[in-house]
Amino acid sequence: MISIRFNRWAIAAVAFTALAVPGSLSAQTPDHPSDNSAQFPNSHDMKSLTMSGSYLAARHASVERDSAAAAAFYRSALRIDPKNNELLDRAFISSLADGDIDEAVKLAERILTIDKTNRVARLVVGVRDLKQKKYASAQSNINQSIRGPITDLVATLLSGWASYGAGDAKTAVANIDKLTGPEWYPIFKDLHSGMILELAGKDKDAGVRLERAYKLDDGMLRVADDYARWLTRNKDNAAATAVYEAFEKKLPRHPLVQEDLRETRAGKKLQPLVDSPQTGAAEALYGIGATLTRRGGEDLALVYLQLSLYLAPNHPLALLSLADLYESVKKPQMAIKVYERMPASSVLKRNAQIQLATDLDAADRSDEAIKILKGVTAEDKKDIEAIMALGNIERGRKKFADCAETYSQGIAAMPDPNDKNNWVYYYYRGICEERSKAWNKAEADMRKALELQPEQPHVLNYLGYSWIDQGINLDDGMKMIKRAVEQRPDDGYIVDSLGWAYYRIGNYDDAVKNLERAIDLKPEDPTINDHLGDAYWRVGRTLEAKFQWAHARDLKPEPEDLPKIEAKIENGLPDDTSSVTSADKKKEDGKGG
């Protein structure tokens, strides 16, 4: 597919040196967690800040990747020192990254009085001109923003849309055709040439271009969609239906495709994807920005997506791509704001709601997330994706009785509960049942999950661990955990299960060996540290045991575990009453699985 070929060029071309977004979106620093928990002064507080104070606050906001705060602080510093070109540039870039394009335009115009060759400023001013239908000025500014394969393509497409806006579709297409470059250019050139020709009323020529783009990559959503739309108006709905059905096989259940397929089957003629130079330019910025987001070019993608939304504020796919970008750099709060902008009329609203709920949960707003998902599932009781998202949040928030019920609803809604890919839902429901003290149900679900995926390591680990922790089915449980470790030797939790299994059967030397390995893999997990402390105590390494327990205490264990850990720090462990003997007693009493 063309998107794969795009990747190789995109990574090389993202060196858009004029675009040095403060605190690069992709940067991660241990001292600055990605939850954006820092609190910045409000506008009243900023009035009392010195230039250096504003600058330092702006840099800190940049590291936190809070572009809104960074822009505000840089602008505050710039008011104090208006001739500082570095502050001007940083304020401009931060405003652009934040999507405050009106402010970015003002700053860009100031930059161009100092440096007429600043390509990013030229691009932003050109897009503003295009929005205001100042097409000649738009072409002039956009053409001066060219630099490198990606920016050359973007500028050429935008300039083409400006030419069309000025009433010259022929020149628009000719200039797009003149552009030469990487092997992924043709699909964008043909798509946008086709769109321009469509709006210019040259339907036959448009069809040639759109068909050519489709043959280059029939799995590219906007290409397939616009070509199928053209077919409904210029050929027949059967041909359009075939295009949508072929796409469905590649990417099932895409809401936009499903809606268009329903209308096509009903015999409707579908309108082109764009209806003006502005929406055409927004489509170009969205298309390349979305591709860059998937290929590691977040900084440049952010600019293109913000400019796309400046031209078409309700573009649903641009909104989803921008939110996805923020999620990829661990900024759920920023993604939340974008998802909330999704128009209620869009068929993608439901998708946005599901992702919005996931981000609300990540931002510790789980009650809001659960409310949203319950609303979505109330509208469609068979919306498996929404049901499972709700169950996952409930499980993560330890609402185990609730998540067991939710997963049951999802399993009941499945077209084929015995599909091997559905193992995960039985597994998740089994976890919720086990934590709700409904072991018989949990065991049945774990066995069902293994029936669907016999060697699934997480299920092997959970079921085997549960058996050994209860002192039942010891041999089978140990075999299961060992098989899980063989598949996931670097998974600290699974290695911990093996170590704890050895502990439970009284093999403390092997317990220590495996738990030390688990600590190497997951040093900050309180449960594993607690387990290792217990194992150390049993082999007589009491000082090390207390150190591990103290470390487990400091790592914020579950509230119900904290008193037990503190008691062990104070008093150690009671004498060993033989795990093996008690386990065998359980088996004799008929409590085996």
Picking from 259, 257, 305, the residue whose alpha carbon sits closest to that of residue 283 is 305
pLDDT-wise least confident of 137-141, 182-186, 210-214, 336-340 = 182-186
Residue 73: half-sphere exposure toward Cβ, Cα within 13 Å: 22
For residue 342, is pLDDT > 50?
Answer: yes
Confidence check: pLDDT of 577 > 90: no
- Taken in order 445, 449, 450, 455, is the CA torsion positive or negative? negative
What is the largest distance, in Å, between two alpha-carbon atoms of the chain? 90
pLDDT of residue 21: 39
- Collect all residues with Cβ–Cβ distance below 8 Å to 519 and sequence separation of at least 6: 492, 528, 529, 532
Q: Which of 452, 451, 450, 403 is nearest to 428 (CA)?
A: 403
Phi, psi dihedrals of residue 166, rounded to the nearest 5°: -80, 0
Q: At residue 32, does pLDDT exceed 70?
A: no
Beta carbons within 8 Å of 399's beta carbon, 6+ residues apart: none
Q: Of 374, 392, 395, 371, nearest to 383 (Cα)?
A: 374
Q: Is 177 exposed, middle or buried (0-12, 13-18, 19+ CB in 10 A)?
A: middle
Q: Tell me: the pLDDT tens digits for 433-447?
A: 999 999 999 999 999
User: What number of residues does the chain have?
Assistant: 593
Average pLDDT estimate for 260-270: 97
Q: Among all chains, which residue has been given the structure tokens 């210019």?
A: 200
* Nearest CA among 297, 290, 296, 300 for reference residue 323: 290
pLDDT band for position 34 (50/70/90)? very low
* Res 147: pLDDT: 79
pLDDT above 70 as % of the chain:
87
Higher pLDDT, 394 or 81: 394
What are the start-end ranges of the E strands in 473-589?
none
pLDDT of residue 73: 85
* Per-residue confidence (pLDDT) for residue 500, from 0 to 100: 94
Determine the angle formed by the axes of helices 366-379 and 384-396, rounding to 10 degrees: 160
CA-nearest of 491, 437, 438 to 460 is 491
Average confidence score pLDDT of the chain:
88
* Tokens 């906007």 sit on residue: 222
Reported as type and span, the H/E element at residue 148 is: helix 148-165
Cβ neighbours of residue 66 closer than 8 Å, sequence gap 6 or more: 36, 38, 40
**Distance (Å) of CA 177 to CA 10, 170, 332, 338:** 21, 11, 41, 35
Condensed to tens digits (0 to 9), the pLDDT of residues 307-321 reads 999 999 999 999 999
Summarize pLDDT for 210-238 with one digit per residue, the tens.
Answer: 999 999 999 999 999 999 999 999 999 99
Confidence label for 259 from pLDDT (cuts 50, 70 and 90): very high
What pLDDT, on the 0 to 100 scale, is given for residue 159? 97
pLDDT tens figures, 482-529: 999 999 999 999 999 999 999 999 999 999 999 999 999 999 999 999
| Backbone CA torsion sign across 464, 465, 468, 472 | negative
What pLDDT score was predicted for residue 67? 82
Q: How confident is the model at residue 63, as a pLDDT? A: 65
pLDDT confidence of residue 12: 29
Q: What CA–CA distance (Å, rounded) separates 155 from 130?
A: 12
pLDDT at 43 over 70: no
The burial of 581, by beta-carbon neighbours within 10 Å (0-12 exposed, 13-18 middle, 19 or more buried), is given as: exposed
Q: Identify the architecture of domain 488-575 in CATH.
A: Alpha Horseshoe (1.25)
Provide the pLDDT for residue 49: 55
DSSP-assigned beta bridge partners for residue 229: none
| 256 has pLDDT over 50 | yes
Determine the 3-state secondary structure of 86 from DSSP.
helix
Name 224's Cβ contacts closer than 8 Å, sequence gap at least 6: 214, 218, 243, 244, 246, 247, 257
> What residues form DSSP beta bridges with 29?
32
Q: How far is CA 44 from CA 36, 49, 64, 396, in A?
A: 21, 10, 21, 39
Lowest mean pLDDT among 33-42, 219-228, 230-239, 389-398: 33-42
* Residue 419 confidence (pLDDT): 93
| 448-451 long-range Cβ contacts below 8 angstroms, 24+ apart | 448/423, 449/423, 449/424, 450/423
With CA atoms as reference, report the closest residue to 314 among 292, 347, 336. 347
Instruction: Enumerate the CATH 1.25.40.10 domain ranges in the chain, comma separated.
Output: 488-575
CA atoms within 13 A on the CB side of 563: 2
Give the model's pLDDT for residue 9: 29
Residue 297's pLDDT is 79
pLDDT for 50 equals 64
For 131, the enclosing helix (H) or strand (E) is helix 119-131
Can you give the pLDDT at residue 61?
64
Q: Which CATH class is domain 45-116?
A: mainly alpha
